A and B are shown apart, each in its own frame.
Chain A
Amino acid sequence: MHHQPRLTHPGLALGLWFLTLLTGIAHASEPDWATIEKTARGQTVYWNGWGGDDKVNSYIAWVGAQVQARYGITLRHVKVSDIAETVARILAEKNAGRDQEGSVDLLWINGENFRAMKDNGLLYGPFSARLPHYRHVDTVGKPTTTVDFTVPVEGMEAPWGMAQIVFVHDSAVVREPPKSMAALLAYAQAHPGRFTYPEPPDFLGSTFLKQALLELTEQREALQKPATDANFGPVSAPLWRWLDQIRPYLWRQGQAYPPSMPALRQLLADGEIDIAFSFHPNDASAEIAKGTLPDTVRSYVLTGGTIGNTHFVAIPYNARAREGALVVANFLLSPEAQARKQDPVVWGDLTVLAVDQLPPEDQQRFAAIKPGVATLSAAQLGTPLPEPHPSWMERLEAAWRARYSR
Chain B
Amino acid sequence: MQSATGCSGGLLSGAPALTLALLLMPIIAGLAGTLLPAFGYLPAIGASGFSLQPWRTLLAEPGLSHALILTLWTGVAATLLALLLTLALLAGCYQSRWLARIRRSLAPLLAMPHAALALGLAFLIAPSGGLARLLSPWATGWERPPELGLFGPQDPWGLSLILALTLKETPYLLFMSLAGLARWPADHDLAVARTLGYGPVSAFLKVVLPQLYPLIRLPVFAALAFALSVVDVALIIGPSAPPTLAVQALRGFNDPDLHARLPAAAAALLLTGLTGLALLLWEGAIQLLARCSRAWLSDGGRGGGGALAQWLALGSGTLALGLAMLSALGLLVWSFALRWTFPAAWPTQWTLAHWRGQFDSLAVATGNTLGIGVAATGVALLLVMACLEQEQRQQRAVSGRSLWLLYLPLLVPQVSFLFGVQVLLAGWGLEGHWLALLWTHLLFVVPYVFLSLADPWRAFDQRYEQSARTLGAGPARVFWRIKLPLLGSAVAVAAAVGFAVSVTQYLPTVFAGAGRYATLTTEAVALASGANRRLIGVYAVAQTLLPLLGFALALMLARRDHRR
- Which B324-344 residues sit within 8 Å CB-CB of chain A? 338-339, 341-342
- Which B406-465 residues sit within 8 Å CB-CB of chain A? 423, 426-427, 429, 431-432
Q: Is A54's CB under 8 angstroms from B256's CB?
A: no
Q: Is A95's CB under 8 angstroms from B516's CB?
A: no
Q: Is A113's CB under 8 angstroms from B154's CB?
A: no
- Convert A265-309 into 0s and 1s, putting 1 for each residue whose CB lies closer than 8 angstroms to a CB of B: 111011110000000000000000001101000000000000000
Please measure, in the bound complex, the distance between the C-alpha atom of A252 and the C-alpha atom of B156, giving whole angstroms: 10
Q: Is A79's CB under 8 angstroms from B254's CB?
A: no
Q: Is B427's CB under 8 angstroms from A96's CB?
A: yes
Q: Is A88's CB under 8 angstroms from B256's CB?
A: yes
Q: Beyond A58-B357, A271-B128, is A266–B531 a contact (Cβ under 8 Å)?
A: yes
- Which A89-134 residues sit within 8 Å CB-CB of chain B? 89, 91-93, 95-96, 98, 103, 112-113, 116
Q: Beyond A103-B516, A192-B147, is A53–B530 a contact (Cβ under 8 Å)?
A: yes
Q: Is A193's CB under 8 angstroms from B149's CB?
A: yes
Q: Is A270's CB under 8 angstroms from B126's CB?
A: yes
A271 CB contact (under 8 Å) in B144, B150, B241, B427: B144
Please measure, in the bound complex, the distance between the C-alpha atom of A79 and the C-alpha atom of B528, giving whole angstroms: 12
> Which of A157-165, A355-363, A378-386, A398-406 lines the interface with chain B?
A398-406
Q: Beyond A52-B530, A260-B530, is A253–B149 a contact (Cβ under 8 Å)?
A: yes
The residue in chain A whose Cβ has the minimal distance to the Cβ of B360 is A61
Indicate if B44 sits at the interface (CB-CB under 8 A). Answer: yes
Q: Is A405's CB under 8 angstroms from B62's CB?
A: yes
- Least CB distance from A11 to B in Å reads 15
Q: Beyond A91-B256, A256-B155, A262-B530, is A270–B150 a contact (Cβ under 8 Å)?
A: no
Chain B contacts for A271, CB-based, 8 A: 128, 144-145, 341-342
Q: Beyond A52-B527, A256-B241, A405-B63, is A270–B145 a contact (Cβ under 8 Å)?
A: yes
Q: Is A255's CB under 8 angstroms from B529's CB?
A: no
B241 CB contact (under 8 Å) in A51, A52, A255: A255
- Which A301-356 residues sit within 8 Å CB-CB of chain B? none
Q: Is A259's CB under 8 angstroms from B357's CB?
A: no
Chain B contacts for A85, CB-based, 8 A: 254, 515
Indicate if A375 sits at the interface (CB-CB under 8 A). Answer: no
Q: Is B241's CB under 8 angstroms from A78's CB?
A: no
A103 CB contact (under 8 Å) in B66, B152, B349, B432: B432
Please measure, in the bound complex, the distance between the C-alpha atom of A260 and the C-alpha atom of B63, giving whole angstroms: 22
Indicate if B239 sits at the interface (CB-CB under 8 A). Answer: yes
Chain B contacts for A256, CB-based, 8 A: 150, 152, 154-156, 239-241
B526 CB contact (under 8 Å) in A79, A116, A252: A79
Indicate if B258 sits at the interface (CB-CB under 8 A). Answer: yes
- Convert B358-369 into 0s and 1s, putting 1 for each residue whose CB lies closer than 8 angstroms to a CB of A: 001100000000
Please measure, in the bound complex, the distance between the C-alpha atom of A105 and the C-alpha atom of B255, giving whole angstroms: 20
The residue in chain B whose Cβ has the minimal distance to the Cβ of A97 is B44
Indicate if B1 sits at the interface (CB-CB under 8 A). Answer: no
Q: Is A103's CB under 8 angstroms from B128's CB?
A: no
Q: Is B241's CB under 8 angstroms from A404's CB?
A: yes
Q: Is A193's CB under 8 angstroms from B147's CB?
A: yes
Please measure, in the bound complex, the distance between the C-alpha atom of A103 and the C-alpha atom of B149, giving whole angstroms: 44
Q: Is A258's CB under 8 angstroms from B531's CB?
A: yes
Q: Is B63's CB under 8 angstroms from A406's CB?
A: yes
Q: Is A291's CB under 8 angstroms from B339's CB?
A: yes
- Least CB distance from B411 to A in Å reads 27
Indicate if B518 sits at the interface (CB-CB under 8 A). Answer: yes
Indicate if B249 sits at the interface (CB-CB under 8 A). Answer: no
The residue in chain A whose Cβ has the minimal distance to the Cβ of B422 is A92
Q: Is B516's CB under 8 angstroms from A46's CB?
A: yes
The residue in chain B whose Cβ has the minimal distance to the Cβ of A200 is B241
B258 CB contact (under 8 Å) in A54, A88, A262: A88
Indicate if A207 sits at the interface (CB-CB under 8 A). Answer: no
Indicate if A187 sits at the interface (CB-CB under 8 A). Answer: no
The residue in chain A whose Cβ has the minimal distance to the Cβ of B254 is A85
Q: Is B532's CB under 8 angstroms from A48's CB?
A: no
The residue in chain B whose Cβ has the minimal distance to the Cβ of A86 is B515
- Which A59-86 residues sit within 8 Å CB-CB of chain B? 61, 76, 78-82, 84-86
A51 CB contact (under 8 Å) in B341, B357, B360, B530: B530
- Measuring CB to CB, which residues of chain A are less than 8 angstroms from any residue of chain B? 46, 48, 51-54, 57-58, 61, 76, 78-82, 84-89, 91-93, 95-96, 98, 103, 112-113, 116, 192-194, 199, 252-253, 255-260, 262-263, 265-267, 269-272, 291-292, 294, 401-406
Q: A193-B149, A252-B150, A266-B531 are in contact. List 20 more A-B contacts (CB 8 A).
A: A46-B516, A51-B526, A76-B516, A79-B526, A84-B255, A88-B256, A92-B44, A103-B514, A252-B152, A255-B156, A256-B239, A256-B240, A257-B241, A267-B128, A270-B342, A401-B62, A401-B63, A403-B62, A405-B63, A405-B241
10 contacts between A and B (CB under 8 A): A52-B527, A96-B427, A192-B147, A256-B239, A256-B240, A260-B529, A269-B341, A271-B144, A405-B241, A406-B66
